[in-house]
């Protein structure tokens, strides 16, 4: 598996946009792609998921729904479940209750998955253990692997993981 992290301390330089487009283009080349959103603003997650999916994932109503700009209670797609973000994966480390929890990536398209980010990462950055930055440590451990579909396995030549930091 090939992993690429797009990192720059400066905001607004296009890391998330580049990650989003690279993930889709690499998938079109026949590779399986797992996009990982480590950005505390979770913009990659917002780009990839519907508003109702984000509400379900984060168990939170959005400002758009609260302001009446988006309908509340729209049926969800079933692609996401609450408690399946990168923040949920590292929460046991931050709380000192255990090791990294396994989370299931959201299947966006055939051969394209997203490990969703969470706004909780921005709150946990100040609470990271001294043994290393928790989201970075989390990436050294395996997450639930996306299931391969037999229909597309003949064209698959490998996997690629773009990471938005």
Q: Which domains does the chain have, with CATH numbers?
A: 2-62+80-146+155-164 (3.40.50.300)
| Confidence label for 83 from pLDDT (cuts 50, 70 and 90) | confident
So what's the pLDDT on residue 76? 56
> For position 75, what pLDDT does the model report?
52
pLDDT at 3: 83
Q: Give me the pLDDT at residue 124, please.
A: 58
Calculate what percentage of the chain has a pLDDT beyond 90: 29
Comparing 73-87, 102-116, 131-145, the range with the smallest average pLDDT is: 131-145
Secondary structure string (H, E, C) spanning 72-118 = CCCCCCCCCCCCCCHHHHHHHHHHCCCCCCCCCCEEEECCEEEECCC
- Name the pLDDT band for 120 (thresholds 50, 70, 90): confident
């Amino acid at each position: 598996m090939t992993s690429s992290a797009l990192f720059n301390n400066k905001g607004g330089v296009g890391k998330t946009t580049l990650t989003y487009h690279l993930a889709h283009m690499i998938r079109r080349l026949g590779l399986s792609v797992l996009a990982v959103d480590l950005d505390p603003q979770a913009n990659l997650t917002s780009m990839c998921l519907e508003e109702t999916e984000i509400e379900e994932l984060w168990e939170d109503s959005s400002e758009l729904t609260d302001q009446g700009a988006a309908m509340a209670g729209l049926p969800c797609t079933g692609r996401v479940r609450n408690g399946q973000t990168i923040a949920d994966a590292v929460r046991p480390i931050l709380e000192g209750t255990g090791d990294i929890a396994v989370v299931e990536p959201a299947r966006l398209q055939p051969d394209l998955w997203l490990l969703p980010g969470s706004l909780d990462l921005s709150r946990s950055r100040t609470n990271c253990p001294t043994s290393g930055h928790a989201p970075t440590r989390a990436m050294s451990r395996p997450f639930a692997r996306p299931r391969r579909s037999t229909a597309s396995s003949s064209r698959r030549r490998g996997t690629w993981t773009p990471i938005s930091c």
